[in-house]
């Protein structure tokens, strides 16, 4: 309940920001503009999008997310026939970078998928609730981020169960997919996890190696040049420089006509295409 009482404070701030943003189109008086730039740190370009022009909107949020007819246990991209893509963020939530990222996504009406580790989810349930309440999807990325190929089935189960429970405790929503740390999982493990949990194993086809911290513009360029229809983009919201790359990445991909959907929606479209 605490959350319900706290959230309206920032919601009303964002409404104020919207009203000020709209009225500034007609009038030059922006004296009451709230300090939005302080949310974005060094990324000075971020605040300009809504001021200088219309923000590109994501029109595909009513897509189905039913993938019950899916046949494969693992997936690294969606259907190549439509310009739908999924932005995924791993290893969070991070108390400073993830809220900043959520602000960027909300401003653009872009929905993403967060593969959180259970340990961090348990430490930051407020961020987990915000992720879900803003229309994003949460996936299971294990509790301690181990290489699952080195674990017994029972240890894998414990990793998945504890993480699922932390997510459900925080936001009341079950994760629907999982991503193995390092993408590392035997085919046998993929099959029994899919059987027991119903989780498709979600990998990726665009990896900017952002964890090596090559800088926001390099991360953005790698993501933009690697993306095609159905792509699943791998980013880590654990790193500030990766989050800094998002405005350029998202705005460019929106201008190229891509529509951002969650992983479940992307999978559902693929299973529709396969029928
Ligand atoms: Ni990871």
Domains of the chain as residue ranges with CATH: 74-274 (3.20.20.370)
* pLDDT tens column, 82-132: 999 999 999 999 999 999 999 999 999 999 999 999 999 999 999 999 999
- Report pLDDT for 2: 40
- Report pLDDT for 113: 98
The alpha carbon of 217 and the centre of ligand 1 are apart by a number of angstroms equal to 22
Q: Which residues of the chain, if any, have pLDDT below 50? A: 1-52, 275
Q: Is 83 in contact with 63 (CB distance < 8 Å)?
A: no
- Report pLDDT for 62: 65
- Name the phi and psi angles at 87, rounded to 5: -95, 125
**CA distances for 165 relative to 147, 168, 204, angstroms:** 20, 5, 25
- Report pLDDT for 254: 95
- Report pLDDT for 240: 96
- Report pLDDT for 269: 84
* Burial of 65: CB neighbours in 10 Å, binned 0-12, 13-18, 19+: middle
Report how far residue 160's alpha carbon sits from residue 167's, in angstroms, rounded to the nearest whole number.
11
The alpha carbon of 183 and the centre of ligand 1 are apart by a number of angstroms equal to 8
DSSP string, 18-66: HHHHHHHHH-S--TT---GGGGGTT-TTGGGHHHHSPPP----TT----
The alpha carbon of 46 and the centre of ligand 1 are apart by a number of angstroms equal to 26
Catalytic residues: 90, 236
The alpha carbon of 182 and the centre of ligand 1 are apart by a number of angstroms equal to 6
- Report pLDDT for 50: 42
- This prediction has a pTM of 0.78
- Report pLDDT for 61: 60
Residue 70's Cβ-side half-sphere holds a number of Cα atoms within 13 Å equal to 26
- Report pLDDT for 66: 72
Report how far residue 145's alpha carbon sits from residue 19's, in angstroms, rounded to the nearest whole number.
42
The alpha carbon of 89 and the centre of ligand 1 are apart by a number of angstroms equal to 9
């Amino acid at each position: 309940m605490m959350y319900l009482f706290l959230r309206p404070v920032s919601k009303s701030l964002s409404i104020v920001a919207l009203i000020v943003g709209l009225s500034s189109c007609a009038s030059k008086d922006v004296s009451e503009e709230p300090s939005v730039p302080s949310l974005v740190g060094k990324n000075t370009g971020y605040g300009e999008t809504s001021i200088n022009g219309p923000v590109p909107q994501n029109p595909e949020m009513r897509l189905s997310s039913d993938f019950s007819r899916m046949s494969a246990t693992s997936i690294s991209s969606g259907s190549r026939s439509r310009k739908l893509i999924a932005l995924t963020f791993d290893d969070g939530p991070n108390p400073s970078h993830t809220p900043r990222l959520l602000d960027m996504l909300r401003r653009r009406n872009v929905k993403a998928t967060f593969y959180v580790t259970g340990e961090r989810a348990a430490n930051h349930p407020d961020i987990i609730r915000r992720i879900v309440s803003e229309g994003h999807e949460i996936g299971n990325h294990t509790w301690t981020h181990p290489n699952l190929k080195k674990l017994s089935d029972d240890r894998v189960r414990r990793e998945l169960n504890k993480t699922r429970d932390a997510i459900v405790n925080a936001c009341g929503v079950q994760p629907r997919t999982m991503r193995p740390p390092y993408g590392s999982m035997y085919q046998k493990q993929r099959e029994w996890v899919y059987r027991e949990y119903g989780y498709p194993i979600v990998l990726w086809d665009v990896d900017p190696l952002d964890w090596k911290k090559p800088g926001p513009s390099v991360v953005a360029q790698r993501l933009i040049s690697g993306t095609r229809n159905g792509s699943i983009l791998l980013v880590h919201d654990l790193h500030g420089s990766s989050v800094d790359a998002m405005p350029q990445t998202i705005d460019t991909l929106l201008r190229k006509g891509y529509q951002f959907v969650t992983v479940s929606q992307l999978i559902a479209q693929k299973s529709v295409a396969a029928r």
